[in-house]
């Protein structure tokens, strides 16, 4: 690659969900002249969510894609340079840090804020993608409220699935939990809580064959792996809780991560193991994974970056 083609950037933000855009708003106001690359899914996971009711400041709720347009416009109004493109490779061995966009454009940055988010793992069914946002969701905390007093199904067997099933049990009439094996991976405490909840019905040794419905989710067809028997359960909502995948692949080998690939940050900060590299939002948060917590950590990352650049005499 021709090094002459590189562009020098003061503060680079990779990713464009609530964390990335909030970081851009704060960094712009601090005159860090941030450049934000939106990545493969501009606006992040919220662009595949329909109604958002739990973000403060929207008394009547807001559509996820609309909310991300608001975030982007605000960041742009503050002066952030927002660009379309995907970070594909990095070299964090020395300052300034190198980041390649779309395998061709080389950027050199004094500070980097990583807000690449996480992607929900899906079962891979055509009907699941077709009905996504029409009864199919990967976030019970986000969307459970819309199924108040209705029957829903949830697929998964870990702590997250158990937690979400318990959350849904307080809102919904019946929660059908679809578990592939004859036991759960969830901790004993969570399993006991699920089993003590009368309106959670667990289908063991079962897998989802099809989500049924034309314009909205109406039922799910499941198959017992041992017997081969299938049955159709009428439901209004179908929740996938088989985990999330942090979008951190290109940072492997540079940044400290946990076993699942979430970037580790120093407690109470957005600092990673490399000075001048900060992480915010779902790429470093596997516990809360909410728009409001992602936005908060984006604010932290911009403030941490401002302080770092000031201390280095680069601001």
Evaluate whether 306 touches 31 at the Cβ level (below 8 Å): no
Catalytic residue among 11, 81, 102, 143: 143
Inter-axis angle of helices 291-311 and 18-29, nearest 10 = 40
Closest CA relative to residue 117, chosen from 51, 253, 30, 23: 23
Preceding peptide of 27 cis, ω within 30°: no
Q: What is the dihedral of CA 39, 44, 50, 51, to 10 degrees?
A: -140
Q: Is 172 a catalytic residue?
A: no
Catalytic residue among 66, 81, 139, 159: 139
Q: Is 91 a catalytic residue?
A: no
Residue ranges in the chain assigned as alpha helix (H): 18-29, 64-77, 126-130, 140-143, 159-169, 188-196, 291-311
d(CA 36, CA 22): 11
Q: Is 139 a catalytic residue?
A: yes
By three-state DSSP, how is residue 177 classified?
A: strand
Please state the length of the chain: 315
Catalytic residue among 60, 66, 103, 142: 142
d(CA 231, CA 31): 60
Evaluate whether 24 touches 80 at the Cβ level (below 8 Å): yes
Cα-flanking dihedrals φ and ψ of residue 207, to 5°?
Answer: -130, 155
Q: Which residues are catalytic?
A: 139, 142-143
């Amino acid at each position: 690659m021709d090094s002459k083609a590189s562009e020098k950037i003061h503060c680079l933000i990779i990713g464009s969900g609530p964390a990335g855009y909030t970081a851009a708003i704060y960094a712009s106001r601090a005159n860090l002249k941030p450049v934000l690359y939106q990545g493969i899914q501009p606006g992040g996971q919220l662009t595949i969510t329909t109604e958002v009711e739990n973000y403060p400041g929207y008394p009547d709720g807001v559509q996820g894609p609309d909310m991300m347009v608001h975030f982007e416009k605000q960041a742009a109004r503050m002066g952030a340079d927002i660009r379309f493109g995907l970070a594909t490779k990095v070299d964090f061995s020395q300052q300034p840090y190198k980041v390649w966009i779309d395998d061709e454009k080389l950027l050199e940055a004094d500070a980097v804020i990583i807000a690449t988010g996480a992607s929900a793992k899906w079962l891979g069914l055509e009907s699941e993608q077709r009905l996504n946002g029409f009864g199919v969701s990967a976030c019970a905390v986000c969307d459970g409220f819309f199924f108040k007093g209705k029957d829903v199904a949830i697929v998964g067997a870990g702590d997250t699935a158990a937690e979400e099933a318990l959350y849904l049990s307080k809102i919904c009439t019946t929660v059908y939990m679809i578990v592939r094996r004859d036991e759960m991976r969830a901790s004993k405490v969570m399993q006991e809580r699920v089993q003590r909840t009368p309106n959670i019905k667990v289908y063991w040794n079962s897998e989802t064959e099809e989500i049924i419905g034309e314009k909205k989710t109406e039922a799910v067809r499941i198959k017992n792996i041992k017997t081969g028997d299938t049955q159709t359960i009428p439901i209004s909502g179908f929740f996938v809780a088989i985990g999330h995948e942090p979008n951190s692949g290109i940072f492997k080998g540079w940044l400290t991560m946990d076993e699942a690939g979430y970037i580790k940050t120093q407690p109470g900060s957005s600092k990673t193991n490399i000075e001048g590299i900060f992480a915010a939002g779902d790429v470093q948060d596997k516990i809360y994974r909410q728009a409001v917590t992602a936005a908060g950590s984006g604010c932290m990352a911009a403030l941490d970056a401002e302080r770092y650049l000031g201390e280095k005499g680069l601001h």
